[in-house]
Amino acid sequence: QKEVEQDPGPLSVPEGAIVSLNCTYSNSAFQYFMWYRQYSRKGPELLMYTYSSGNKEDGRFTAQVDKSSKYISLFIRDSQPSDSATYLCAMIPTNAGKSTFGDGTTLTVKP
């Protein structure tokens, strides 16, 4: 069983919809949680970075971490066609080891 499981998708939504992207994990040592966005034929870029439980908001994006359930989510409000990409969750323990990535969810936002 993988340490990090990500909803596989693909996901297709109309413009303006609220999108929820989700990952679960099994390693309770994970303390830092990241979301990366990867456009086609590009490298991933860091979108959100959170530490431990709680919510973090940045514009239309909200990252949510529930450590008790070992569950993280990325919400996108008022989704735009430019949000069409693959979203990767990632997490890392406190002692700065290597990150563990989810397999990614491909999102398409239709105009």
Partner 1 sequence: DVKVTQSSRYLVKRTGEKVFLECVQDMDHENMFWYRQDPGLGLRLIYFSYDVKMKEKGDIPEGYSVSREKKERFSLILESASTNQTSMYLCASSLGRELPGEQYFGPGTRLTVT
Q: Which residues are near partner 1 by CB under 8 A?
A: 32, 34, 36, 41-46, 49, 88, 90-92, 94, 96-99, 101-104
User: In this complex, which beta carbon is closest to partner 1, that of residue 17 or of residue 56?
Assistant: 56
Half-sphere exposure of 41 (CA within 13 A, CB side): 0
Tell the smallest beta-carbon distance from residue 56 to partner 1 (Å): 13
Tell the smallest beta-carbon distance from residue 26 to partner 1 (Å): 16
Nearest to 92 by CA among 80, 83, 102: 102
CB 22 within 8 A of CB 6: yes
User: In this complex, which beta carbon is closest to partner 1, that of residue 42 or of residue 77?
Assistant: 42
